[in-house]
């Protein structure tokens, strides 16, 4: 539990991941029936981009700084949330719990887990007055098996781990297996960093091995993959919403012009079955 997200808030992987998350939330909002989101690795909710940690890395310069104040027609909710938190001057970056909070209606729910003691306490304090949000200081992987299915019977499990442990992909596989047994119809989105193709291949295989028939894999890389550099990131999505692939394609096309240019690469395609 040494990973501290504050050093990386707003970087290029965050822009893709969080913009994509808002596209799934927009899909859930299309129906009047309430939904629930289980966020397995919540962090602290929001991040100060002028904190000592963020200023030390300046990763926001190649990420959110390039989209804030611009037009991102493929992901309007993402920019709308940034503007709601910041007004005209960017300082606060929303993590996944805050993005979900802004999307929740009166009867929707967010269940968010954070195992890090200090971050978990900050998250509880941040959302203690919002009855739609429950914060649990517990292992998010274990929560997938323990806290599903939600009463709403529709919604999303968002798995966004730090990948600081060697067995992280095994934990993801176990969580997806538990999720399929408990709530086979839910949407599951697993984020992963990209340095090469190995990690994404393993997670996609784990999703198919868990039993999900419909698995989408979306990747966006502003930089070339060399096995060392953080080239970009991806999402493996189980039970993807109808036509979400088209929206991801438009997002990747738009981000190519803003974040990477000619050196960018992206793909949105069904995960191959063995």
Look at residue 137 in the predicted model and tell me its pLDDT: 96
Show the low-confidence residues of the chain (pLDDT under 70): 1-4
Q: Kindly report the CATH number that applies to the domain delimited by 5-270.
A: 3.40.50.150
Please give the positions annotated as active site: 160
Beta strands 92-94; 46-48: pairing state: antiparallel
* Distance, CA of 103 to CA of 97 (rounded, Å): 10
The torsion of the CA quartet 109, 114, 117, 120, rounded to 10 degrees, works out to -30
* 73-96 pLDDT tens trace: 999 999 999 999 999 999 999 999
Look at residue 110 in the predicted model and tell me its pLDDT: 98
Look at residue 1 in the predicted model and tell me its pLDDT: 36
In the chain, where are the structural domains located?
A: 5-270
Look at residue 4 in the predicted model and tell me its pLDDT: 54
196 three-state secondary structure? coil
Look at residue 150 in the predicted model and tell me its pLDDT: 97
- Is-contact 184 216, C-beta < 8 A? no
* Distance, CA of 183 to CA of 254 (rounded, Å): 34
- Is-contact 92 47, C-beta < 8 A? yes
Whole-model pTM: value is 0.95
């Amino acid at each position: 539990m040494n990973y501290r997200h504050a050093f990386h808030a707003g970087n290029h992987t965050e822009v893709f991941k969080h913009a994509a998350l808002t596209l799934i939330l927009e899909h859930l909002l299309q129906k009047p029936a309430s939904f629930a989101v289980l966020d397995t690795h919540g962090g602290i909710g929001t991040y100060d981009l002028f904190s000592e940690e963020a200023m030390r890395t300046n990763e926001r310069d190649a990420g959110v700084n390039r989209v804030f104040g611009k037009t991102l027609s493929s992901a309007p909710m993402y920019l709308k949330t940034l503007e709601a938190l910041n007004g005209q001057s960017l300082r606060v970056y929303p993590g996944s719990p805050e993005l979900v909070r802004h999307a929740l209606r009166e009867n929707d729910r967010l269940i968010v887990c954070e195992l890090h003691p200090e971050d978990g306490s900050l998250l509880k304090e941040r959302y203690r007055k919002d009855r739609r949000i429950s914060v649990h200081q517990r292992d998010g992987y274990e929560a997938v098996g323990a806290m599903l299915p939600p009463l709403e019977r529709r919604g999303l499990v968002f798995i966004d781990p730090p990948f600081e442990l060697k067995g992280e992909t095994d934990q993801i596989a176990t969580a997806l297996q538990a999720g399929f047994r408990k709530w086979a119809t839910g949407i599951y989105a697993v984020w992963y960093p990209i340095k090469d193709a190995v990690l994404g291949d393993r997670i996609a295989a784990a999703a198919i091995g868990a039993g999900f028939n419909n698995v989408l894999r979306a990747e966006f890389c502003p930089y070339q993959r060399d096995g060392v550099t953080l080239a970009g990131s991806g999402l493996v999505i189980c039970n993807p919403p109808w036509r979400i692939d088209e929206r991801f394609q438009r997002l990747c096309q738009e981000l190519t012009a803003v974040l990477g240019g000619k050196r960018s690469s992206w793909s949105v395609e069904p995960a191959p079955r063995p």
